[in-house]
Structure formats: C-alpha cells, structure tokens
Amino acid sequence: MALSHGYDADEADEEYCKPLTKQEAQALRLRDPAVSPWWIVGLQCVAGLVVALVAWGVSGQPVVAWSAAYGALAVIIPAALFARGLMSQFSSINAATASFGFFLWEAVKMAVSIAMVAAAPRLIENLSWLALMAGLFVTLKMYWLALLKRPKPKQI
C-alpha cells in the first residue's frame, strides 16, 4: 500500500536535483568561498618551520630539529601531492572523476605519509621520535586552523 502526499515524488526529486546555471554556480561560490588546498599546504609549511625551530631552541640539538622537520614533511609532501592531484584536469571532468580522484589521491597521501614515517629511522641518524611526532601532530592540526580561518560567506 503506497502512501500519497498529494505530490509526485519524481517531480520533487527533479526539482531538488536540477543542475545549477552558470550564474547560480557563481553566486554560490561567492556566497560560500572554498578554502584553497594550496593555502592549507602553505600553512602547514609555516607550522613545520616553527615546530622545527622550537624543537631546536628547546633541545639545542640539530637532530631534534631535523626530526621535527621530517615529521612535518611527512604531512606536507603528501598534502601537496593530494592538492596537485585534486587540481588536475582529470579530477574536474565530471562528478564521477572528481569523486574517484579524491579517493585515489587520499590513498596516495596516506601511503606516502606511512612510507615516510617508516623510512625515518633509516634517513635520520639518532632520530628523535618525540620530535618527529610533534612535527607530524602540529602540522596535521593546521587543517583545523584552516577551517576556522576560512573566508566568511558573503551575503548576496
């Protein structure tokens, strides 16, 4: 037994899912601007530099600074690959390729991060795991800062 609400469900779906016109899409972008992935990568670079300098200042040991910087790079390099992949022409062909591209580049980002952390003891002699994790943690937290500082929606 079907319930009737006095309207055609297919018509409601069509109205809800109708594509935006070019003008409507531009107005939406102006009203709710996106955060550039490159801005986030830049913010991560600054955070990585700061945490490495603080680690060096607190410990007085260059290896601690290198460990913190390497931890930051284990976030920055994969994030830059992710941003480059998302901004490629392939990822903007249509919604399906954009979705596929997002998941593909997210997998690449995770794999590169894991590989970099796994390679750290072989690349940095006398590695400070605490400093590496501090660099990794602080740099990862920049995603949240970027969300808090994203451009405010404009009233149209």
- pTM of the predicted model, to two decimals? 0.74
Task: Provide the residue ranges of all domains of the chain, joining segments of one domain with +.
Answer: 36-148
pLDDT: which is higher, 2 or 137: 137
Cα–Cα distance, 61 to 48 (Å, whole number): 17
- pLDDT class of 91 with cuts at 50, 70, 90: low
Least confident of 35-49, 87-101, 116-130: 87-101
Residue 119 · residue 112 · CB < 8 Å: no
Residues 6+ apart with CB under 8 A from 44: 72, 75, 76, 79, 139, 142
Cα–Cα distance, 5 to 9 (Å, whole number): 9
